[in-house]
Amino acid sequence: MKSSFLFLPVIILSLPVRGEVEEYVLQPGDVISINVVEHPEFSGRHKIRPDGRINYPVIGEVDVASLTCAQLVKIMQGKLSSYVNNPVVSVSIEAYYANKIYVIGAVIRGGEYQIYEPVDLIKVIAMCGGLKNAKTKGIKIIRSDGTIITVNTAELWASAKYDTKKYVLYPGDTMFVPESFEIPWGLLSVILSVVNVSLQILILMTRLAA
């Protein structure tokens, strides 16, 4: 019995954390604000150049594109530790370079949409008029860096369980709804009826010829 209690925390720690949010990845053209507490000389706004870098006071060139804000905070804390004791750094996005998302596939109104902040997936579905097929099982979010996230639509409609912060589209992202194959039952019924009549005629002609 004692060993089972010891094993339980291991199981709990190994379970995936629900609602984990995909963080936005900085890209050239974004404007970011880096703030160092009690050190205004190291604080300021920076626009990420096409080469993915910014020119930072004293430190010089810093590669920031392809990093999340949290990753950049850790990097800046390391770089500033030579100049500031225990630097407290925060990074925020002041402006996105591409304020558009793209919607393609089996939706009512596909195309590009202007946004001014990250948008929840359900809001994006509403923006494009909804899905063509309500029984669509999966939606793909294609990040601007090429990363693909597959979303189970059953999770979206479970309002009691859905976390609105879990699936978010950022500027430059694309929502893709695959076309769902539907059996054309009406056409299939007509074809089967024609085949049935043709078989009956063939059988009748065979009997008459005998």
Beta strand 44-47 pairing with 168-169: unpaired
Residue 178 CA to chain centroid, in angstroms?
15
How many Cβ atoms sit within 10 Å of the Cβ of residue 56? 17
CA count, 13 A, side-chain hemisphere, 81: 8
How many Cβ atoms sit within 10 Å of the Cβ of residue 37? 13
What DSSP state is assigned to residue 69?
Answer: H
Which residue is listed with tokens 């629900």? 18
- pLDDT 10s per residue in the chain (210 long)? 444 443 334 333 333 343 455 678 898 889 999 999 999 999 999 999 989 999 999 999 999 998 999 999 999 999 999 999 999 999 999 988 878 899 999 999 999 998 878 899 999 999 999 999 888 889 999 998 888 999 988 888 776 666 667 889 998 899 999 987 655 566 667 777 777 777 777 777 777 776
Q: Rounded to whole angstroms, how far apart are CA atoms 175 and 103?
A: 5
Helix locations, 15-51, DSSP H: none
Per the CB < 8 A criterion, the answer to whether 112 and 102 are in contact is yes
Query: Helix, strand, coil % (nearest 5) of the chain?
Result: 30, 25, 45
Per the CB < 8 A criterion, the answer to whether 145 and 119 are in contact is no
User: Model's pTM, two decimal places?
Assistant: 0.55
Residue 123 CA to chain centroid, in angstroms?
13
DSSP SS3 for 22 = coil
Beta bridge partners, 56, equal 60
Q: Rounded to whole angstroms, how far apart are CA atoms 141 and 155?
A: 15
- Domains, the chain, with CATH or none: 18-95 (3.30.1950.10), 100-177 (3.10.560.10)
